[in-house]
């Protein structure tokens, strides 16, 4: 799509005349440093420093989003309907949980045992949400639907708003990191600009490779993002940095405002991201004790969850994990269409649930043991729920898209947990009480992250747009 055809160097103005005869050399160096630093890091660092100076964003709070790409069935996970006919209730049985009177799917036993550390929301109104791209729930805006809105891809991700408003929790880390299987599975910076796109972490870590249907390929991906080209040593990069400093010193003499001096400061911190080692170390799973790596397990998603913990610990504010093997609509898109790749509820969803159960409970337990859980908000959700009845699209037990309602879960963030918010009708087909909108979810995340709920950004016509739409409000049940 058109917003991914630009480049990450916009704020470095590489094609802007600088009044120096060495213009092309200067531009080359700008672009090189920007590429090594990942995002437009100096600008992000500058904004972070300004926020701190203004007394904002002093906390070290963060968010880990487990994005269940494709839309998991709410009835077959967190909102069982055991008294309904088989075609409605599905093939799974319910089990009791640590919250008295609350049941969830039998294939989530670890989460059931510690559900007092979670909040289940059973009444999410996800109307308007779709996938490929999957942006409504990740932006908090129903208008972020590129399939029906030509400008749907311009609405910024919640993670991007957080990146702009508060940056990272440590100046040597990117504010937002995403592990993605395909660009259409996550939301981007949109009208905020590409500098607020997430840092894509896939190439920054050594991770196991899988094919499109989840079969291990018995090889690892390479982590070459922090590796300098053979012809570019640290010494040579330092020399380039010195040349940039010399050129900037020429301009500083004629820059009465002192802005170039500030740019030097933030550029130096961006440079430190590459050579200083903090980001490299955070992405290096080999630095983690083997016992911890074994605890999470060798599966790709579990290794990414461990990376997410390491990243928020190192100072990243928002981490998104795209829980999908497939590059199309997503592994949780359990239609069960004959000849399809995803399978239905029994063949498609069932193998995913024990894996997810282990992943989320291990992550939450690890955060708690490290004293991080009150600062880190963990969210698990997808685009929408699934149809009340099975057998859609000529499948045996698949369920189609159902944006009328979905379930999701949260943990951590210092919020009040051990509860279920909302309810659906007897067959799980509609919201019975306490609807929760995408804007309510966005407002809840922003409140956790100290982002102003009345904040705005500007669209392509220069009009202000609110971070929180539809009169969205933080969920009071979580903050009381």
What CATH number is associated with residue 196? 3.40.720.10
* Segment 109-160, tens digit of pLDDT: 999 999 999 999 999 999 999 999 999 999 999 999 999 999 999 999 999 9
- Confirm if 295 and 362 have CB atoms less than 8 A apart: yes
What CA–CA distance (Å, rounded) separates 66 from 305? 8
Contact criterion met (CB below 8 Å) for 367 and 350: no
DSSP 333-385: -----TT-SS--IIIIITTHHHHHHHHHHHHHHHHHHTT-TTTEEEEEE-S-E
The alpha carbon of 257 is separated from its chain's Cα centroid by a whole number of angstroms, namely 38
Q: Is 57 left (phi over 0), alpha (psi -120 to 50) or beta?
A: left
Q: Which of 276, 311, 343 is the last residue of a domain?
A: 276
Per the CB < 8 A criterion, the answer to whether 451 and 165 are in contact is: yes
Of the two residues 258 and 311, the one the predictor is more confident about is 311
Residue closest to 409 by CA, chosen among 450, 353, 335: 353
Residue 5 in domain: no
Query: How high is the pLDDT of residue 56?
Result: 52
Q: Find residue 386's DSSP bridge partners.
A: 401
Contact 137, 185 (CB under 8 A): no
pLDDT at 97 over 60: yes
* 164 lies in the same domain as 23: no
Tokens at residue 9, please? 């160097």
Q: How confident is the model at residue 13 (pLDDT cuts 50, 70, 90)?
A: very low
Q: Is residue 238 part of a domain?
A: yes
- Which phi and psi (to 5°) does residue 381 adopt? -165, 170
Domain identity same for 213 and 240: no
pLDDT of res. 236: 57
Q: 198 and 219 in contact (C-beta within 8 Å)?
A: no
Whether residues 142 and 254 share a domain: the answer is no
Is 10 inside any structural domain?
A: no
Residues 6+ apart with CB under 8 A from 85: none
Backbone phi and psi for residue 199, each to the nearest 5 degrees, phi listed first: -75, 120
Question: Is 264 a domain residue?
Answer: yes
Can you tell me the distance from the alpha carbon of 359 to that of 421, in angstroms, rounded to the nearest whole number? 23
* Contact of 120 with 420, CB cutoff 8 Å: yes
Distance between CA atoms of residues 135 and 142, nearest Å: 9
Please check whether residues 123 and 270 belong to one and the same domain. no
102 & 249 share domain? no
14: confidence class by pLDDT, cuts 50, 70, 90:
very low
Looking at the structure, do residues 252 and 111 belong to the same domain, yes or no? no
Whether 407 is in a domain gets the answer: yes
**Domain shared by 429 and 439, yes or no:** yes
In a domain, 148, yes or no: yes
Same-domain pairing of 243 and 339: no
Any domain includes 336: yes
Q: What is the average pLDDT value for the chain, to the nearest integer?
A: 85
Domain of residue 251 covers 18-55+230-276
Residue 114, phi then psi, degrees to nearest 5? -125, 30
Give the integer Cα–Cα distance in Å for 332 and 20: 55
Which pair of structure tokens corresponds to residue 375? 């600062």
- My answer on whether 355 and 451 are in the same domain is yes
Nearest residue to 157 via CA among 183, 124, 120: 183
Q: Which of 210, 245, 276 is the last residue of a domain?
A: 276
For 228, residues 6+ apart whose C-beta sits below 8 A from its C-beta are 36, 234, 237
Query: Is residue 70 domain-shared with residue 204, that is, in the same domain?
Result: yes
Name the pLDDT band for 48 (thresholds 50, 70, 90): low
Buried b (16+ CB within 10 A) or exposed e, 17-53: eeeeeeeeebbebbbbbbebbbbbbbbbbbbbbebee
386 and 435 inside one domain: yes
pLDDT at residue 342, as a whole number: 83
Convert the pLDDT of each residue in 211-268 to its tens digit: 999 999 999 987 776 665 555 555 655 565 555 565 555 455 545 444 444 445 445 5
Token couple for 264 = 């030097």
Q: What angle do CA 224, 227, 233 make, to 5 degrees?
A: 160
What burial class does residue 11 get, using C-beta atoms within 10 Å of its C-beta: 0-12 exposed, 13-18 middle, 19+ buried?
middle
111 with 360: CB under 8 angstroms?
yes
At residue 62, the 3 state secondary structure works out as strand
263 and 382 share a domain? no
Q: pTM for this structure?
A: 0.83
Examine residue 306 and state whether it is found in any structural domain, yes or no.
yes
Helices 259-275 and 23-37: angle between axes, nearest 10 degrees: 50
Angle formed by the axes of helices 158-166 and 438-448, to 10°?
Answer: 30
Query: How many Cα atoms sit within 13 Å of 47 on the Cβ side?
Result: 16
Total count of domains within the chain? 2
Percent of the chain predicted with pLDDT > 70: 77
- Half-sphere exposure in the Cβ direction for 106 (13 Å, CA): 10
């Amino acid at each position: 799509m058109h917003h991914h055809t630009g480049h990450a160097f916009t704020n470095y103005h590489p094609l802007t005349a600088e009044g120096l005869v060495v213009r092309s050399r200067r531009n080359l160096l700008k672009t090189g440093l920007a590429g090594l630093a990942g995002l437009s890091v100096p600008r992000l660092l500058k904004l972070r420093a300004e926020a701190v100076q203004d007394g904002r964003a002093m906390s070290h709070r963060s968010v880990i989003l487990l994005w269940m790409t494709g839309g998991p069935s709410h009835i077959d996970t967190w909102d069982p309907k055991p008294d309904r006919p088989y075609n409605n209730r599905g093939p799974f049985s319910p089990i009791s949980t640590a919250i008295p009177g609350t049941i969830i799917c039998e294939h989530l036993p670890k989460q059931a045992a510690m559900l007092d550390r979670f909040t289940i929301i059973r009444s999410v109104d996800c109307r308007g949400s779709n996938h490929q791209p999957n942006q409504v729930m990740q932006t908090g805006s129903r208008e972020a639907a590129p399939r029906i809105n030509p400008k749907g891809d311009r609405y910024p991700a919640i993670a991007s708003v957080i990146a702009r408003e508060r940056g990272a929790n440590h100046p040597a880390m990117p504010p937002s990191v995403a592990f993605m299987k395909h660009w259409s599975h996550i939301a981007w910076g949109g009208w905020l600009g590409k500098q607020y796109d997430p840092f894509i972490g896939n190439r920054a870590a050594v991770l196991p490779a899988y094919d499109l249907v989840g079969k291990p390929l018995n090889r690892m991906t390479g982590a070459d993002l922090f590796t300098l080209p053979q012809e570019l040593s640290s010494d040579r990069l330092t020399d380039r940095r010195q040349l940039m400093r010399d050129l900037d010193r020429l301009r500083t003499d004629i820059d009465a405002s002192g802005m170039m001096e500030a740019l030097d400061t933030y550029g130096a911190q961006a440079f430190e991201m590459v050579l200083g080692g903090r980001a490299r170390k955070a992405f290096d799973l080999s630095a983690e004790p083997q016992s911890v790596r074994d605890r999470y397990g060798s599966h790709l998603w579990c290794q990414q969850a461990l990376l997410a913990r390491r990243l928020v610990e190192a100072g990243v504010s928002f981490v998104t994990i795209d829980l999908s093997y497939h590059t199309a609509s997503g592994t949780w898109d359990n239609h069960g269409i004959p000849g399809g790749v995803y399978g239905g509820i029994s063949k498609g969803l069932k193998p995913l649930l024990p894996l997810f159960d282990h992943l989320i409970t291990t992550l939450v337990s690890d955060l708690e043991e490290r004293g991080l859980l009150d600062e880190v908000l963990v969210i698990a959700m997808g685009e929408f729920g699934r149809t009340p009845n099975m057998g859609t699209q000529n499948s045996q037990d698949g369920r189609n898209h159902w944006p009328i309602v979905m379930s999701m879960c949260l943990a951590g963030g210092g919020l009040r947990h051990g509860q279920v918010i909302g309810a659906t009708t007897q067959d799980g087909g509609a919201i019975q009480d306490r609807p929760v909108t995408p804007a309510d979810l966005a407002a809840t995340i922003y409140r956790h992250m100290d982002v102003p709920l009345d904040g705005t950004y500007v669209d392509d016509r220069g009009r202000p747009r609110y971070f929180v739409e539809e009169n969205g409000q933080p969920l009071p049940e979580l903050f009381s």
